[in-house]
Chain A
Amino acid sequence: MALFSKENRQAFTNPLNLDNPIAVQVLGICSALAVTSQLKPAIVMGLSVTVITAFSNVIISLIRKTIPNRIRIIIQLVVVAALVTIVSNILKAYVYDVSVQLSVYVGLIITNCILMGRLEAFAMQNGPWPSFLDGVGNGLGYAIVLIVVGFVRELLGFGTIFGFQVVPDSWLMDNGGLYLHNGMMTMPAMALILVACFIWAHRAYNKDIE
């Protein structure tokens, strides 16, 4: 089997668009609300989930034939939790600053439905290499949506992009202008509405999705 056969390429590209974890599979919504008030945590979270999904997919795929059917979910959970804990320990030891910034999100990764969803739906039936691609694809598909939502929320909620100011101070009502930051955008509820808008646009464009 070729490394980049059609099936393998699809395992990677489908979740980016036609099978996007958030827009189509509607997985991982919870963390999408929590971390998207600004762009930077959204990107970091997207990358962390990509790494963890890819490697837990590989591990589960390697041992998939030995896992007793009745306790497969528990085994999956153990693998994910162990992986996340190890990564978090390594971050704390070698890149302390990053780990301080990530403190809340690292725990959130374990509860991310994308992980369990992909382990159960893909890694349990497929070999390690396609599973790796599927994990990376799903992680990136998730990251794309997070980045879009984070971009809109940070821009409208704070008037900044990556912390750099884009809405000039002179526009603000405090300084006699006509503009006001939309405080609603900083609330998780707006993330839900933005995700819904994203799904709407996505489906309007890809008419063949059920």
Chain B
Amino acid sequence: MAKLNTNGNLYTIVYATVIVIIVAFLLAFVASALKPTQDANVAIDKKQQILASLNIRGVEKTATEAKYDAVIKQALVYKATSADVIEGEDGFDVPSKEFKEKRPFYIAEVDGQTKYIVPMTGAGLWGGIWGYVALDDDCETVFGTYFSHESETAGLGARIVEEWFQDSFKGKKLYADGDDKTIALSVVKKGKEGTMSPDNYVNGVTGATLTSNGVDEMIKDGLSKYQDILNAQK
């Protein structure tokens, strides 16, 4: 075999082109071949998160679909500007980046009782955070919550996905006594509760004040956007 001059200009350009084309095809092939499986995983994961907000946790992957269908009665989509339902759309299919125009709203039934689920997104310390808050049919008492995050610090902010934190919201009230306009439910640092009623707050994650503040803002912001829908359900 003749010895190629691997340092020539032509060889370098051709080599770079060939490598890039091979890699591009390879990546495109892998990405499109695996896309359906990945999408199915993402959908199952989302369903598990919604179920977790109803305190139904640890559902097997294969059983998630059936459980979700059994529990979630309606997944509505409201317009962002008015309390009108957009007909023919499934709230589950609304991606979080469309939350500005559309408001997905889930109605579930657990042990014969109606529960309402409000999805929400916000910002943590390093990246996005999101969550689902499930309310009892009085539209005021928290039934359960689920929070997760993109890239909060492992062991600190990332602990908002842990059950003890999410469970601490159970039974808390959205509104303080005598004021049913502003959302009072808060995440506050231990020792900074002030005069708040214990019904209205949970303690943040120790050492993760900024992530906890993010959850606090997300809850207030997310729930106040749904106040008209929630009041209409009462």
Contacting pair A100 B154 (CB below 8 A): no
Interface residues on A, range: 20 to 34
Report how far A41 CA is from B26 CA in the complex, Å: 29
* Subset of 9 A-B contacts with CB under 8 Å: A66-B4, A68-B7, A68-B15, A71-B12, A78-B23, A90-B30, A93-B37, A96-B44, A96-B45
| Interface presence of A89 (CB below 8 A) | yes
Chain B nearest CB from A47 CB (Å) reads 16
Contacting pair A86 B19 (CB below 8 A): no
Instruction: Name the 4 nearest CB pairs between A and B, nearest first.
Output: A96-B41, A93-B37, A93-B34, A68-B12
The contact of B30 among A35, A37, A74, A89, by CB within 8 Å, is: A89
The contact of A86 among B6, B30, B38, B156, by CB within 8 Å, is: B30
Chain B nearest CB from A122 CB (Å) reads 19
Chain A residues with CB under 8 Å of B12's CB are 68, 70-71
Chain A residues with CB under 8 Å of B7's CB are 68-70
Chain A residues with CB under 8 Å of B42's CB are 96
How many A-B contacts at CB < 8 Å in the complex?
A: 74
| Interface presence of A104 (CB below 8 A) | yes
Chain A residues with CB under 8 Å of B156's CB are 37, 186
Interface residues of A (CB under 8 A from B): 35, 37-38, 41, 65-71, 74-75, 78-79, 82, 85-86, 89-90, 92-94, 96, 100, 103-104, 154, 157-158, 183, 186
Contacting residues of chain B (1-58) with chain A, CB-CB under 8 angstroms: 4, 6-7, 11-12, 15-16, 19-20, 23, 26-27, 30-31, 34, 37-38, 41-42, 44-45
Report how far A85 CA is from B15 CA in the complex, Å: 22
With contacts A86-B26, A89-B31 taken as known, whether A41 is within 8 angstroms of B151 at the C-beta atoms is no
